[in-house]
Homo-oligomer: A and B are copies of this chain.
Amino acid sequence: MIEGLQEMLKRDFNITFKDVDLLDAAFTHASYVNETPERKKKLKYYERIEFLGDAVMQLCVSEYIYEHYPEMPEGKMSRLRAAMVRADSFSKFAIECHFNEYIRLGKGEEKGNARQRPSLLCDIFESFIGALYLDQGKDEVVRFISKVIFPKLELGWFDHMMDNKTELQEVLQQNGECKIKYNEVNVTGPDNERVYTMNVVVNNEVMGEGTGRTKKAAEQMAAYQALKKLRK
């Protein structure tokens, strides 16, 4: 049993796990299991639970956005969701919840400062969500993230992450230099109701097209389509 973890969850979030082994597994890194060979077959680590937690978070966040922003178009909903479920967002939430203090790590990883590593913190946040879902169901997960994440949405925490053009550039440049260009494809409507269609061309190939009331909005949509294509 991980010392203090249950007490902290009870005190800070009023959460009491039925299956304590599941909770422990959610906070246990493979490196810890690898160092306790005699218990190896019994001890579980977080990776599979994190896989489930990732999908639970996607749904809870999607449902929240769907319900609370009834007029928001799909493109913007997707950008907002992507901003909220980013690894760097989750790693901040993990620290805020003090989850980092309870992770079980192998000695080598501990020395390598894994406890501060954003990707591990993100994993632990997701695996906690997965365990909470398995132990108590979706409503309890929603209650937890209504405390930890949703208030930050209203405070505008995620607004600056919703720039698709920047994101597209970052993704493409991971594979080396490339030429990204936005072109006007079409303009329709009267003066006060212009609709612009822009496309984004990467190394002479059209990667996405979008429409909007301003050129900038249309470019953002085009970049969003290109990102969607890259992720397919």
Contacts and interface: CB of A to CB of B under 8 A. Distances in A.
A73 B175 CA distance: 28
Copies of the polypeptide in the assembly: 2
A42 interface: no
A interface, by DSSP: helix, strand, loop or mixed?
A: helix
Select the residue from A59, A77, A81, A138 with max chain B CB neighbours within 10 A. A59
Interface residues of A, number: 36
A220 B122 CA distance: 23
A58 interface: yes
A77 B55 contact: no
Contacts of A47: 73-74
A170 B48 CA distance: 27
B74 A171 contact: no
A228 to B, nearest CB: 10
Interface in A52-111: 52, 54-56, 58-59, 61-63, 65-66, 72-74, 77-78, 81, 86-87
Nearest to A62: B55
